[in-house]
Structure 1
Amino acid sequence: AGRRCGLVWFRADLRVHDNEALAAASDASLSLLPVYLFDPRDYGRSSSGFDRTGPYRAAFLRDSVADLRRRLRARGSDLVVRIGRPEVVLPELARAAGADAVYAHREVSHDEVRAEERVAKAMEKEGVEVKYFWGSTLYHVDDLPFDLDRMPSTYGSFREKVQGVAVRRTIEALDQIKGLPKRGGVEPGEIPTLAELGLNPGPAMSQDGKPAAVTSSLVGGETEALERLKKFAAECSMQPKKGDKDSTRDSIYGANFSCKISPWLATGCLSPRFMYEELKKTATKAISAATNQKNGAAGSDNGMNWLMFELLWRDFFRFVTKKYSTGKNAEVVPATACTGALA
């Protein structure tokens, strides 16, 4: 470890498993300053008059940040939480803690890309290096068989071109994570309430922003995501083959299946590569079991073909969004529109 302190800027990657930015910072630094920022520009009203972030999404995000803090603390570190613009707050924290590098994952939307550019510019003035990584898709952006500015504008063309591309192995979650630097006395801070974010609790939420007891709710965080994935894998292994006449009832192919995992993928509480690996293991075991049955037919995909289809759709949307939010394509409106992919 050659650096004094590495600042890890958590964004839509609220997990410790398969987190390249966190792993790289840990390898290169004597101490770590993990940070999550609630950017005021992500809240309030948009120019169209809609909430940029609604109370339910914000509550899910608060859950996810709180869970990340617990998981970091369990490994010997902590999470610094602030409300503020990244290009303002991150240099202040880096200066106070003596950080000499910032580690973060890149994102894809126009506003997120602009935020990355502003942070890089602000850190350059401080003499702090910024290192960006990629970790939000099944396929790594560097492994695509085309430059991003030549990204196909239709899903069919994209799917054809990425056939045969290997999925990178996931990065193991660290058992121990380096603690906060002693310099600067940076306090972890409190996770803001919905009111502090300028939001009113929804009708099915109590005043403290928690879901009312009578409602079912989604709980944010990596811990919940991994538990859901475990149940999801068990559900996949119990499914009949897709061709069976009774396979649509209460099955992963039925109407009730969609969006069981997508909120955790969207906030980065769950890595798509980790999800793919875990379900691939489940499918392999199920196929092996079917092979050993006297009357069983080997080769049931137990949802793996469906999973790849959905994750490829998700990759397509993220890559095409990145294409039109970067460089010379930033002001161009994409000519494709599709619906129904895993968010």
Structure 2
Amino acid sequence: MKSKRILVWFRNDLRLHDNEMLVEALAKSESILPVYFFDPQYFHKTRFETLKTGIHRAKFLLESVAALRLSFQKLGGDILLVNGSPEEFMTKLVSDFEISEVYHHREVAPEETLVSTRMEDLLWKQKINLKHFIGHTLYNKEDLPFPIKDIPDVFAQFKKKTERDAMVKSCFPSPEEITFVENEDWGALPTLEDLGFEVNTEDFPPFAFTGGEDAGLLHLKELLLEGAEIHQKPVKNTGGQQGFSSRLSGWLSLGCLSPRKVYWKLKAAEAEFGGNANFNQILLGLLWRDYFRFMFKKHGISFFQEPEEFEKEFFSPTENEHPDLIKWKSGHTGNPIVDRYMHDLNVHGFISHTGRLLVATFLIHILKVHWTNGAVYFEEKLIDYAPASNWGNWANVAAAGKDSKTKNTFDLEKQIKLLETIVPDPSLMA
């Protein structure tokens, strides 16, 4: 029996393709009300004096939401944009629109999980069910060859067993027809200024990333065609060169691209053109994303080997004004490769995975600054920030994660040796 109306709460799932939540809502309702909340808590300052969301990711987010809105408008409807938190407005929406059920994608990191828990409690008081979907991973948890509690903590073991014994499901199709709840005012898309940013024309380079499902699919198509034509090994990362990077992560982090869509498009390209090292790197990146999400699902904050120290540093940071931290953030450490990467991060909101490992190594093991300071700075600056991947990678570099001693995870000696081969530039030390 169909529910009359279902509210579809979009979070980091800003797409029509391969969206099980949307497909099921359409199958079980007479009409749907898509909603996106611009939650103020994601645009405030942290206790580290960094922004929860920096200007590059905010711009990418606005573009992605605008693109989803356009997709719904082409189908004769829209998405309700709310300037406020779900805790503040959801119960009123449910009442005003006579909603029978709310669908959403559940996250795995502590802060995002807490939002779901609070909303579940609030809706339950209205006798409304909040249904959870997990649509951010390549593998569904029920398709893994082990229950969540038994997932290997060592990435190499997770990779081996998953690739051998699990299957990647096919993608859900994009809906061709949608019946929307009737609504007169769908809300305005906020500007960067509305979200609290002071915008200058030089804030964004002319070749900045563009958010949205169509932009992500186009980038994926061009990436696979380029890989098919070149058939060359990735460029070696030296002297600040970015080397090969798929640059898919921004669209993946906001759910403009489904990991399964990337996987099956890549497999089709391999079948037509043959495999290559760059394609393998994309697949490896998808597996790392899954690993970190499942680690946080399994362990929560206990993913960190010293959770008490983590909580102490996270809730009472002591190094905000550390001079070496300030130089690292601004790209004035005197190490050319580190400074080049930090400049790129600040200007573009993106650096390659190799670059992230190098600058993290330098901050933690050379400058001796606690790793949480770097993690929150990346949280502000990265377009592709995803809590599990960001905090998981930083913890591994700091030897504070569950897989800190695995060679496949992070080769500290190799990273330090590369850093030490770079001759410092005295002019950058000021």
CA 231–111 in structure 1, closer or farther in 2 if over 3 Å, else same: same
Whether contact under 8 Å (2:235, 2:244) holds in the other structure is: no
Are residues 1:322 and 2:297 paired?
A: yes
Counterpart contact for 2:105–2:134, Cα < 8 Å: yes
> Larger relative contact order (C-alpha < 8 A, sep ≥ 6)?
1
TM-score, normalising length from structure 1? 0.83
Look up the match of 1:208: none
Aligned equivalents of 1:332, 1:169: Cα separation in 2: 39
One-letter amino acid of the counterpart of residue 35, structure 1:
V
User: Per-residue displacement from partner, 1:245-277 (whole Å, max 9, x unpaired)?
Assistant: xx759xxxx944315211001110000100111
Once residues 84 and 323 of structure 1 are traced to their aligned partners in structure 2, the CA distance between those partners, rounded to angstroms, is 31
Is 2:205 the counterpart of 1:230?
A: no
Identity %, equivalent residues? 33
Q: Which residue does 1:293 correspond to in 2?
A: none
Cα drift, residue 68 of structure 1: 0.3
Map 1:88-167 to 2 at 5 A.
Answer: 88-162=88-162, 163-167=164-168
Aligned mate of 2:260, from 269, 273, 277:
273
The CA distance in 1 between the partners of 2:410 and 2:209, in whole Å, is 23
Q: Which stretches in structure 2 are left out of the alignment for 5+ residues?
A: 308-400, 412-430
Q: Distance in 1 between matches of 2:299 and 2:87?
A: 23
TM-score with structure 2 length normalisation? 0.67
Tell me, in whole angstroms, the C-alpha distance in 2 between the residues paired with 1:84 and 1:155.
38
Question: Greater CA deviation, 151-160 or 48-57?
Answer: 151-160
Instruction: Letter of the 1:197 partner, please give it.
Output: L
SS in 2 for 1:325: helix
What one-letter code is carried by the residue in structure 2 that aligns with 1:306?
Q
Aligned to 1:168: 169
Counterpart residue type for residue 112 of structure 1: E
* TM-align CA RMSD: 2.5
**Which residues of 2 match residues 1-343 of structure 1 at below 5 A?**
2-162=2-162, 163-179=164-180, 181-182=181-182, 185=183, 187-201=185-199, 204-205=202-203, 211=204, 215-240=206-231, 242=233, 248=235, 255-287=242-274, 300-301=275-276, 303-325=278-300, 333=307, 334-336=401-403
Q: Which has the higher mean CA deviation after the structures are superposed, 154-163 or 89-98?
A: 154-163
**Deviation at 1:41?**
0.9
Q: Report SS of the residue matched to 1:32.
A: strand
TM-aligned CA deviation for residue 50 of structure 1: 0.6
> Which amino acid counterpart does residue 165 of structure 2 have in structure 1?
G
Q: For the Cα contact (< 8 Å) 2:305–2:402, is it kept in 1?
A: no
One-letter code aligned to 1:137:
T
Supply the distance in 1 between the matched residues of 2:213 and 2:81 (Cα, whole angstroms): 17
Task: Provide closer, same or farther for how the CA distance between residues 283 and 200 of structure 1 changes in structure 2, counting only shifts above 3 A.
Answer: same
Q: 1:332 to 1:98 in 2, by over 3 A?
A: farther
How far apart are residue 53 of structure 1 and its match? 0.3
Which protein has the bigger helix share? Answer: 2
Deviations 1:196-230 (A, max 9, x none): 2122225623xxxxx4xx63211100010011111
Gaps of 5+ in 1: 206-210, 288-299
Provide the C-alpha distance between the structure 2 equivalents of 1:190 and 1:308, rounded to a whole number of angstroms: 38
Give the length in aligned residue pairs: 310
Contact kept, 8 Å, 1:14 with 1:222, in 2: the verdict is: yes
Is the Cα contact below 8 Å between 2:155 and 2:403 reproduced in 1?
no
Q: Distance in 2 between matches of 1:69 and 1:256?
A: 35
Which stretches of structure 1, 4 residues or longer, exceed 6 Å deviation after superposition? 328-332
Measured against aligned partners, the alpha-carbon deviations of 1:91-147 in whole angstroms (never above 9, x if no partner) come to 111111111111111112111111111111111111111111111011112212222
Given that residues 108 and 321 in structure 1 are in contact (C-alpha distance below 8 angstroms), is that contact kept between their aligned partners in structure 2?
yes
